[in-house]
Amino acid sequence: MALSEQQKTRPFAVVTGASSGIGYELAKQFVQNGYDVLIAAEDDGITEAARNLGGSGRVESVKVDLARYEGVEYLYAKIQALGRPVDAIALNAGVGVGGAFAQQTRLEDELNLIALNVTSSVHLAKRVSRDMVQRKSGRILFTSSIAAVMPAPFEAVYGASKAFLLSFSEALRNELADVGVTVTALMPGPTETNFFHRAGMDDTKVGQDEKDDPAQVARQGFEALMAGKDKVVAGSVKNRAMAAAAQMMPDPATAQMHRKMSEPGSGTKKQ
């Protein structure tokens, strides 16, 4: 595919999980900062998101289920078909599952969570990072969470998936430090998105409490990525305080702190 003169000069980014929430706002950050963008998600909203993001840059969308191996390969094929080097990629696609692991949650949902949050991130990072290493240039952003630094009762598999992403990003960052590729972990706290509703956590304290603005979280993540930082705890000052406290407190204490926020029925029922 022949590239236009504009495409030859504008950087190119890929954002997954970009139909709404943090992913959509990350894509907006790239567009506003001079990038052409390819966005991906499994729902129909990805097409409307691309229309809304359109501006001076080129925005394309792919509807794809990244929880499937074939879905990741399909997205990577779309990236290759554009014939453009990926200057930055935000591996943001993810889902939560709330509830007691042994009594309430479904195995199918948790295996899907692992496939999307963990497996697809490793899969796509493998494909794209090799290309970046060959060019000796690129930026990779993983959306982790402050849940990564503490046990997460009633979100046990979700919290573990985010801990994986944090550890993976830090290890990959070290491996790629000498080849011109940076890796950054974005660690938001509770954010005003559809996440808690989809995770079945509407009746929890965290589900009902005030949350951070996804635009603020995305801006902080984008700025950290562009600065080449290893990670950023995004959102409110409360998130940074919580993440710092989790590093000093014993795991049983942080687990209990998380439990109070995420246990089913812990929220004040809205009338």
First to last CA, the chain: 57
CATH topology of domain 9-262: Rossmann fold (3.40.50)
Domain limits, the chain: 9-262
Structure confidence by residue, pLDDT tens digits, 99-127? 999 999 999 999 999 999 999 999 999 99
Tokens of 158: 């979700």
Tokens of 198: 């989809």
User: What CA–CA distance (Å, rounded) separates 213 from 200?
Assistant: 21
> pLDDT band for position 238 (50/70/90)?
confident
Tokens of 71: 């879905």
> pLDDT band for position 17 (50/70/90)?
very high
Structure confidence by residue, pLDDT tens digits, 137-179? 999 999 999 999 999 999 999 999 999 999 999 999 999 999 9
Sheet holding 138-143, edge to edge: 59-63, 36-41, 12-16, 88-91, 138-143, 181-188, 231-234
- Would residue 158 show up in a list of annotated catalytic residues for this protein? yes
What does pTM read for this prediction? 0.93
User: What CA–CA distance (Å, rounded) separates 28 from 32?
Assistant: 6
For the chain, the maximum distance between any two Cα atoms, rounded to a whole number of angstroms, is: 58
User: What CA–CA distance (Å, rounded) separates 186 from 179?
Assistant: 22
> pLDDT band for position 271 (50/70/90)?
very low
